[in-house]
Chain A
């Protein structure tokens, strides 16, 4: 402990670090390690068979693929929404601003049911898409739509304050130096936004990987086609296959952790190049 301790004008370092570690252990580490311990009941070959079963492999691809695609779309359109909310003044702006948070507040099951009703073959939107040969509900596309819905606020809310902080002077400076709008955006504004955009992307991505409630309603849950990994875990739990369920959880956990770590490293790298202080 004493190696961590430094003289600081802020008192209570020991207490604060102690509490932080205890709290993190109780809330995050202990439940997570339970998953690992439970998995340890399995032998290595049993574990490997469970986590590489074709149906499971298909669910990984779907979960991470759809989550990634949804997070990418959110990064793009979330940036657009944040841009409009920060840069323009229009009537009803506050209402639009409040709407952005709705996916946070709505119970995910409600979101799932609402989206299913909209995109089903006889739904408001579905009835127009069906004749075009686009089926959304009960397909992977539906999963993608649901994940996009729940991930949007993460990008908007992380990008918005950073965009608000970018001084108008920077754009004016670029203009006096002869840069056009696109050059100003791509060379001046976007690089400043990039770390925040990455954070928003990572949050939306992480949220999408773990999403269950909204997806199961719209997914159709067909094995090999539209079955997400969290659903497989629940299925195994319902069959009292606790070890199998935790084995899948462990795989999810490790992959998510690695992905988030990579994103954090990217962020750290880009922030280091443009830090303020």
Chain B
């Protein structure tokens, strides 16, 4: 079942939570809404669920307008960050709740409810906890029960609000891949909200990056990571180095080194921001072929198979360290120690020309 969101806007007082948002969720896909807090991602999810009403715009389920439908009638499964399990009920009763509150006509028989609930508990691998109470379970177990409870009513779409946000790192990773597998088995259209880019990139079929109530980019995890559409997406997804540069006739100048930028051939002295991922910087002991920036190693941090270097450019007042990631083998080859001089060259960079400035007034570089 597909979800369509058309021109949604929502204000809380003077705060704009959603600003003319349009989104298409394809049937059966697992979509992540990614963004910092206050970006409107949770509001968007809650509007889709019907827990919040938008000021304007429409929500369509399978092409049918659901904007004015009550949350009760939307048949969505919703999973909350803090589980929201009913404390006074056993795990079994929690999962059975959605079936028990049905009008008599549609309510399954006692035995059917029992079978359905046990099947769901089996699915989330917690059937042995049926008679316990929520407070006797760990956070990860509670969230799996919350998921089973949401699935019990056979929802057409599954919405998850920061489902792993309250869990510790290890459980979070386990549950993440478990959710992915579950989705691959069930193929229920799912949308989940997260502020954790790793989580979004790892689990989702497509990622929607949001900022300040707007959608910045929609794409597969590879697309948003490899080809960020805006400076915001670049900075939000993973570590990134930022250089002030000057575009001039097909070249981007960072300090006194030039990198070919054929897409900006017509630019004349225009300032731009250049983004370079830490693993896309080459490090050499000596200057070889072409210009390279001289820098000093100020910090070396070894994290598993990679080594993260912090460098400071020589002859520059900019003391923001440059992050570089190299493999352990490369690090051994170079035999670097703190204080060494190295030469660096960006292997690839993405340029975002200054929107408000035609001619460069940047004097710093």
A residues near B (Cβ < 8 Å) are 167, 169-170, 172-180, 183, 187-188, 191-192, 273-277
- Closest partner residue, chain B, to A277 (CB atom): B135
Candidates B74, B78, B88, B135; contact of A173 at CB < 8 Å: B78
List residues of chain B with CB within 8 A of the CB of A179.
Answer: 72, 97-98, 101
Residue pair A178, B88 in contact (C-beta under 8 Å): no
The CA-CA distance from A188 to B87 in the complex, in Å, is 8
B149 an interface residue at 8 Å Cβ cutoff? yes
Q: How far is the CB of A232 from chain B (nearest CB, A)?
A: 43
Residue pair B97, A172 in contact (C-beta under 8 Å): no
A–B complex contacts, Cβ < 8 Å, 27 sampled: A167-B82, A167-B84, A169-B82, A170-B86, A172-B51, A172-B80, A173-B85, A174-B97, A176-B49, A177-B97, A177-B152, A177-B153, A178-B101, A178-B102, A179-B98, A179-B101, A180-B101, A187-B86, A187-B97, A188-B86, A191-B86, A191-B88, A192-B87, A192-B88, A275-B133, A275-B135, A276-B87
Residue pair B87, A176 in contact (C-beta under 8 Å): no
Candidates A169, A180, A191, A274; contact of B80 at CB < 8 Å: A169
**A interface: dominant SS:** helix
B221 an interface residue at 8 Å Cβ cutoff? no
Mark out the residues of chain B between 161 and 186 whose CB falls within 8 Å of any chain A CB in the assembled complex: none
B residues near A (Cβ < 8 Å) are 49, 51, 70-72, 74, 76-78, 80, 82, 84-89, 97-98, 101-102, 133, 135, 149-150, 152-153
The CA-CA distance from A174 to B152 in the complex, in Å, is 13
List residues of chain A with CB within 8 A of the CB of B98.
Answer: 177-179
Candidates A176, A188, A192, A277; contact of B78 at CB < 8 Å: A176
Please give me the 6 A-B residue pairs with the lowest Cβ-Cβ distance, nearest first. A177-B98, A191-B88, A274-B88, A169-B84, A173-B84, A179-B101
List residues of chain A with CB within 8 A of the CB of B102.
Answer: 178
List residues of chain A with CB within 8 A of the CB of B80.
Answer: 169, 172-173
The CA-CA distance from A175 to B75 in the complex, in Å, is 10
Q: How far is the CB of B79 from chain A (nearest CB, A)?
A: 9
- Closest partner residue, chain B, to A275 (CB atom): B135
The CA-CA distance from A172 to B85 in the complex, in Å, is 11
Q: A175-B71, A178-B101 are in contact. List 8 more A-B contacts (CB 8 A).
A: A172-B51, A176-B71, A176-B76, A178-B72, A179-B72, A188-B86, A192-B87, A277-B135
Q: How far is the CB of A187 from chain B (nearest CB, A)?
A: 7
The CA-CA distance from A258 to B49 in the complex, in Å, is 51
List residues of chain A with CB within 8 A of the CB of B74.
Answer: 176
List residues of chain B with CB within 8 A of the CB of A276.
Answer: 87, 135
- Closest partner residue, chain B, to A195 (CB atom): B88
Residue pair A176, B77 in contact (C-beta under 8 Å): yes
Residue pair B101, A183 in contact (C-beta under 8 Å): yes
The CA-CA distance from A192 to B72 in the complex, in Å, is 22
Q: How far is the CB of A196 from chain B (nearest CB, A)?
A: 13
Residue pair B87, A177 in contact (C-beta under 8 Å): no
List residues of chain B with CB within 8 A of the CB of A187.
Answer: 86, 97, 101
